[in-house]
Amino acid sequence: MPDQNDTAVHVKVQDLEMRYNNFLIQKNLNFEIRKGEIFMIAGSSGSGKSTLLRHLIGLMKPVNGKIFYHDRNLWDMLPQEQKALQRRMGILYQSAALWSSLTLGENIAILLENFTDYDQSEIRHIVEFKLALVGLAGYQDYYPSDISGGMRKRAGLARAMALDPDIFLFDEPTAGLDPVNSQRLDSLIKQLRDNLGTTVVVVSHELDSIFAIGDTVIFLDSEEKTITGMGVPADLRDHPPNSRVSEFFNRENK
């Protein structure tokens, strides 16, 4: 658990409603993400987890409701303020985690070249350092296709870390990985938080991950189209507030 600023709110979501055109995805979403916590977004396929992440990042504008970062409404900010905030986010999308035509080193360096004033030698050092943090020391000249799926995910994390973000937002980081690599990635995410104190938001429907690293979880119900469960993962499993939360958190097939 985060040991400092335990109650500081990093992100606050108020009465959020999300739609594609007129089609309702989720409504009445209300929750807070505390600074330094690992906050899980769970729910069945199609419930709107990735859509919620896109709203948190500011890629989609809410139909109704508000998203606050440190008490500032994301959509009351000037465009350049929004961009500055987004630059402080370390994002791992559900697909296309890396640019396949660039080496692992170039995948990270391109962000530093675009958004910082570091010179080439400083950038080289930062790239080496970030890759080392995820257990990929010496792999900067490899292409994504040269390495395993687990290593690619870790390289994606290294890229998300490039600009020393205030908050990480990961969409299904362990999807498609075998249990051993899933566990490695989960430990890495936990280490990131423990060592850097960074707030981490993780979309996941995988119970092993939710129980292993989540401080708080919200359950997006695809029938009710709102959050029907919120709290400490093990509490939701042991004291589910309704049958769909119970089914989700107690299912055999993880």
Shortest CB 51 distance to Mg ion, Å: 8
Both ends of the chain: CA-CA distance in Å? 24
48 binds ligand ATP (CB under 6 A): yes
Closest CA to 158 of 83, 58, 94, 91: 91
3-state SS track over 94-113: CCCCCCCCCCHHHHHHHHHH
51 binds ligand ATP (CB under 6 A): yes
Question: 54-57: which pairs have CB atoms within 8 A and are 24 or more residues apart?
Answer: 55/16, 55/18, 56/11, 56/13, 56/169, 56/201, 57/86, 57/89, 57/91, 57/169
Q: Which CB, 125 or 254, lies closer to Mg ion? A: 254
Q: CA-CA distance, 205 to 217, in Å (whole number)?
A: 11
**Which residues from 88-147 bind ligand ATP, rule CB under 6 A?**
94
| Interacting span for ligand ATP (CB under 6 A) from 46-54, 103-111, 131-139, 150-158 | 46-54
**Which residues from 183-222 bind ligand ATP, rule CB under 6 A?**
205
Task: Find which of Mg ion, ligand ATP, none residue 159 binds, CB within 5 to 8 Å per kind.
Answer: none
Shortest CB 94 distance to Mg ion, Å: 5
| Interacting span for ligand ATP (CB under 6 A) from 42-50, 126-134, 183-191, 192-200 | 42-50
Q: In the chain, count of helices (H) and strands (E)?
A: 9, 10
CB 19 within 8 A of CB 9: no
Q: CA-CA distance, 174 to 80, in Å (whole number)?
A: 33
Binds ligand ATP (CB under 6 A): choice among 47, 103, 182, 199: 47
25 binds ligand ATP (CB under 6 A): yes
222 binds Mg ion (CB under 5 A): no
What is the amino acid identity at position 154? Answer: R
- The contact pattern for Mg ion, residues 47-86, with x = CB under 5 A and - = no contact, is --xx------------------------------------
What is the amino acid identity at position 21? Answer: N
Q: Which CB, 10 or 205, lies closer to Mg ion? A: 205
49 binds ligand ATP (CB under 6 A): yes
CB 17 within 8 A of CB 65: yes
Which residues lie near Mg ion (CB under 5 A)? Answer: 49-50
- Binding region for ligand ATP (CB under 6 A): 20, 25, 43, 45-51, 94, 205
